[in-house]
Structure 1
Amino acid sequence: MRKALIEFRNVSFRYSDTNPWVLKDLSFSIYENEFVAIIGHNGSGKSTIAKLVNGLLFPQEGEILINGVTVNEETIWDIRREVGMVFQNPDNQFVGATVQDDVAFGMENRGIPREEMIKRIEDNLAAVGMLDYRLTEPHRLSGGQKQRVAIAGVLAIYPKVLILDEATAMLDPRGRKEIMQTVASLSEQQGLSLITITHDLAEVVQAERIIVMNQGEIWAEATPREIFSKRNQLKEIGLDVPFVAILADELKRAGIELTKEPLNHEELLEELWTLHSKT
């Protein structure tokens, strides 16, 4: 049985005493080496969860544990060694004059020896396909390239948890897909827990589990296939349903019964091919 790496225990949060609660009595766990997607419309509370995990915010009620340690002002720097975050706009994370300087920044703050830093810079830039750009100035990179460098910088500190907070929102569909495939592969190789926080259902198909937030509470928690089957309810809470799910619905209305809920175009084509071969 996998160990719980992140635990929210009856957590409630609001930004001031006069504001409504953003999170309400929230409880869930995320386990070692697990890929979890947290989705919801704007204002559902999903990005607040990311800031609470990283200690950028603290709950008014309840408790958050990272690897068994309660998140508070005394433990925050230890917690941040365990949790790496990549944000929506990578420009906000760049501090170095070159790509390699930027990847080195987090390691310098942790006192990593120079020889080890050089190795990690090369390993992690190679892992995200950006080694050839190590001497490039960050502002010369495309949006997708910037996100890859930001991911390399976070991975270089060897966190136990990697959080993508709307990290693909500024990219085109192809760029989103490439980033998610890269991160999913790297997290599996390095034994990381991966949390992606998004409103885009199309990018969460690789997750083991999806937590759907609505008005500060967990609306549903299940596998991607089970969540996609609730497409009408998802629309009601303001989430766009992936095109493949809409197409599957139309096929069912036309009398074409699929054996399972397709997660992507490849699965849908396979289903249709199987049905065609039986006729």
Structure 2
Amino acid sequence: MRSKLIEFRNVSFRYGEEQPWVLKDCSFEIYENEWVAIIGHNGSGKSTIAKLMNGLLFPQRGEIFIDQKPVTPDTIWEVRKDVGMVFQNPDNQFVGTTVQDDVAFGMENRGFTRTEMLTRLEEVLAAVGMPAYRQTEPHRLSGGQKQRVAIASVLAVSPQVIILDEATAMLDPKGRQRIMQTIKDVQHSKDITLLTITHDLHEIVQADRVIVMNDGQLWDEGLPREVFSKKDGLKEIGLDTPFISSLAEELKLAGISLTQEPLNHEELLEDLWTLHSRT
């Protein structure tokens, strides 16, 4: 039986008494070692969810639990040991003059021994493919490399949950693809719970589950394949479906019925080849 790690219970939030509610009676659960993608258009509430999980904000209504601990001002430092965040702009997270100094910063603050710090430094830089850049100044790195270092800095302190809040939004398509592969590799090798916040449906294919937000409420949740199949509904709430999903819809309209909603080019080609072999 899966263990519940994060729980939102009827959470509502707004940025001021006169402001509209950004989240409205929002409830969901996230489990250990699960990769969940939260998607939605700008203003749907997804980034607010990330800040609430890390105690950067607190709900006006409802309750949030991380590993059975309520997220409150009194528990915030304990919660932050369990939850690490990687933001859209990694420059805002850099504090060290070199890559190794930056990765070591969080470990120093938590009292890690020097031996343990050196071991973890090697391990996390290898995990994100950056061991050759230990002595490099962060501002000399590319956007994708900076995000890798930001992920390594969070990994070094061994959180139970890593939240990536639009972490690939500033990257080109190739950089975005590399970071998503890094995320996948890290999640499998470290047995962590991963939460990716995005408005790009291309990024959710590898997730275990998807939560779709719209206007501060949970619009839908399910497997990526189930979410992609609701093309009309996604378009109505301002989300474009991936090209491969749109292509599958055009094939369907042309009388070519696929056996399942394809998540990538490989699945589509395999399905088409199977249909061709039967004819």
**TM-score exceeds 0.5:** yes
Aligned to 1:215: 215
Supply the AA of the counterpart residue of 2:221: E
Q: Distance in 2 between matches of 1:10 and 1:103?
A: 36
Q: Report Cα offsets for 1:123-180 as digits up to 9, x if no partner.
A: 0001100000010010110000000000000000000001000001011122112211
Distance across 2 between alignment mates of 1:129 and 1:53: 28
Counterpart for residue 101 of structure 1:
101
- Following superposition, the deviation at residue 272 of structure 1 comes to 1.3
CA displacement at 1:273 relative to structure 2: 1.4
Partner of 1:68: 68
Residue 202 of structure 2 corresponds to 202
Could you tell me the TM-score, scaled by structure 1's length? 0.99
Q: Residue 256 of structure 1 aligns to a residue in which SS?
A: coil
Distance 1:96 1:222 in 2: 40
Query: What secondary structure does 1:106 align onto?
Result: helix
Match in the other structure for 1:36: 36
CA distance in 2, matches of 1:187, 1:105: 22
2:50 aligned with 1:55, yes or no? no
**Residue 17 (str. 1) matches residue 23 (str. 2):** no
Aligned to 1:251: 251
TM-score, normalised by the number of residues in structure 2: 0.99
Deviates more, 1:174-183 or 1:122-131: 174-183
1:224 to partner: Cα distance: 0.3
The alignment yields a C-alpha RMSD, in angstroms, of 0.7
C-alpha displacement of 1:184: 1.7
Question: Is the contact between residue 51 and residue 57 of structure 1 (CA under 8 Å) also seen in structure 2?
Answer: yes
Residue aligning to 2:144: 144
Displacement after TM superposition at 1:31 (Å): 0.4
SS in 1 for 2:55: coil
Deviation at 1:230, TM superposition (A): 0.4
Q: Which residue of 2 aligns with 1:79?
A: 79
The runs of 5 or more residues in structure 1 that have no matched partner are: none
8 Å CA contact 1:209, 1:222 repeated in 2: yes
Identity of aligned residues (%): 72
Shift of 1:73: 0.7
Q: Counterpart amino acid of 1:140?
A: R
Q: Deviations over 1:27-72 (max 9, x none)?
A: 1110001110000000000000000000000000011000000001
1:38/1:46 contact within 8 Å kept: yes
Distance across 2 between alignment mates of 1:6 and 1:154: 18
Deviation for aligned residue 1:275:
1.5
Aligned partner of 1:265: which letter? H
Alpha-carbon offset, residue 276 of structure 1:
1.8
User: Is contact 1:225-1:261 (8 Å) kept?
Assistant: yes
2:163 alignment counterpart: 163
Structure 1 position 232, deviation (Å):
1.1
* 2: CA distance, partners of 1:62 / 1:253: 45
Structure 2 residue runs without a partner (length 5+)? none
SS of 1:63 mapped into structure 2: strand
Runs ≥4 residues deviating over 4 A: none
